[in-house]
Amino acid sequence: MTTDTIFDITRTSSSRINNVDLDNPGFGREFADHMLEAEYRDGRWQQPEIKPYGSIEITPALSVLHYAQSVFEGTKAYYVDGETVNLFRVEKNFERMVRSCERMCIPKVEREVFLEGIKELIKLDHKWVPQKDGNSLYIRPFACAFDPIISARVAEQYRFYIITSPVGSYYDRPVKLTTTQQYVRAVKGGVGAAKTAGNYAASLYPAQQAKKQGFDQVLWLDAEEHKYVEEVGTMNIFFVIDGVLVTPSLRGTILPGVTRDSIIQLAKHWDMPVEERRISIEEVMQAGEDGKLEEVFGAGTAAVVAPVEEVHHDGQSVTFDIEGRGPVGQKFYDAITDIQYGQAEDPFDWITSVKVNK
């Protein structure tokens, strides 16, 4: 099947690319010329359209605005050379989107539309993929309820979109984390493992409180005992304790990150001891006190590896005197970004190269 039969494509007649500074695009503020839109109605996804990026008309009664039946993904495209743009493990993003859709009662987005849609957008808008080191084109697929009805029920109509946004490299200033005994991100049986809007809305208030106390983000603990470490805002968390890489196991309350999975695979490939298990905040603080906590870092698409300079819990802090990533975090950062930008071998077959016309 050619892409013309999968999508109706309408090209923009006036590109906005000259209005954007691709060297300094910020994050999520500028959008490339085209977007994909698919409608779900009459019990099936209709033929998707690729068309100029622009506003959409909605009614104030739109169901997603009221009941948050909505899922999304986040991945990036990396400039390699004038003819090649790399995508990183987009298949994993598709699989996670399908799981998120299932949990949120959203009809499963079609594989071909998701994967070929991303590739087609990259081909059309390849000039929007920034060339500056560390910059990339962020890709945001999302699906949401589109019934023009105020009623708390599973919707009958949906929309699926893919929009893309040139983004700068994430500032790698080390972050300060604090736990909270008052708030939780996700409960067992809830929607913590789904990439759904409400998870982010619910975490805003605790994150704002943490910021008021001088921290960057909350280090979430489990909801039952407030004892075990889960994750951070939009990142999974890793600890290096006495030479062993430790990250909380996936138990349905944590988002299964693509970066997390990549780090675990790399560690195994390098024969670096790695443990996915429950890790209590007491163990972390004790390791800090004993001088065995060598590094802490967050892992996610935005920053890849974000160094942590402080973990605060219950009036105590473990701090690291660092200016950037530690050696272990840096090693993962370099390995992953080198693969993403086509500067290293890809032993795990993580890359999809999109050939673009100059």
Ligand X SMILES: Cc1ncc(COP(=O)(O)O)c(C=O)c1O
DSSP 277-302: E--BHHHHHHHHHTT-EEEEEEEETT
Tell me the window of 6-14, 257-265, 285-293, 327-335 that interacts with ligand X (CB under 6 A): 257-265
Query: Contact at 8 Å (CB) between 113 and 38?
Result: yes
- What residues form DSSP beta bridges with 35? 51
Residue 3 CB neighbours (<10 A): 14
In Å, how far are 109, 113, 114 from 141, measured between CA atoms?
Answer: 10, 11, 8
What is the bridge-based pairing of β-strands 84-88 and 175-178?
unpaired
Q: Is 257 in the site for ligand X (CB under 6 A)?
A: yes
Tell me the window of 5-13, 168-176, 221-229, 250-258 that interacts with ligand X (CB under 6 A): 250-258
Q: Is 252 in the site for ligand X (CB under 6 A)?
A: no
Number of residues that bind ligand X (CB under 6 A): 12
Q: x/- site string to ligand X, residues 196 to 235, per CB under 6 A?
A: -----------------------------------x--xx
Left (φ > 0), alpha (ψ -120 to 50) or beta: where does 341 sit?
A: alpha
Q: Is 337 in the site for ligand X (CB under 6 A)?
A: no
Q: Is 258 in the site for ligand X (CB under 6 A)?
A: yes
Q: Is 74 in the site for ligand X (CB under 6 A)?
A: yes
Q: Which is nearer to ligand X, 80 or 235 (CB)?
A: 235
Q: How far is the CB of 141 from ligand X (least distance, A)?
A: 12
Identify which of 274, 266, 255 has the alpha carbon closest to the alpha carbon of residue 334: 266
Residue 326 CB neighbours (<10 A): 18
Q: Is 68 in the site for ligand X (CB under 6 A)?
A: no
Q: Which two tokens stand for residue 206?
A: 């605790």
Q: How far is the CB of 48 from ligand X (least distance, A)?
A: 24
Q: Which is nearer to ligand X, 20 or 266 (CB)?
A: 266
Residue 231 CB neighbours (<10 A): 25
Q: Which is nearer to ligand X, 167 or 356 (CB)?
A: 167
Query: What kind and span of H or E run contains 166?
Result: strand 158-167
Tell me the window of 134-142, 147-155, 252-260, 319-327 that interacts with ligand X (CB under 6 A): 252-260
Tell me the window of 21-29, 57-65, 121-129, 251-259 that interacts with ligand X (CB under 6 A): 251-259
Q: Which is nearer to ligand X, 21 or 276 (CB)?
A: 276
Q: Which is nearer to ligand X, 118 or 124 (CB)?
A: 118
Query: What kind and span of H or E run contains 65?
Result: helix 63-67
Among 196, 259, 337, 340, interactor with ligand X by CB under 6 A: 259
Q: How far is the CB of 300 from ligand X (least distance, A)?
A: 3
How many whole angstroms separate alpha carbon 54 and alpha carbon 320?
45
Q: Footprint of ligand X on this chain (CB under 6 A)?
A: 74, 231, 234-236, 255, 257-260, 300-301
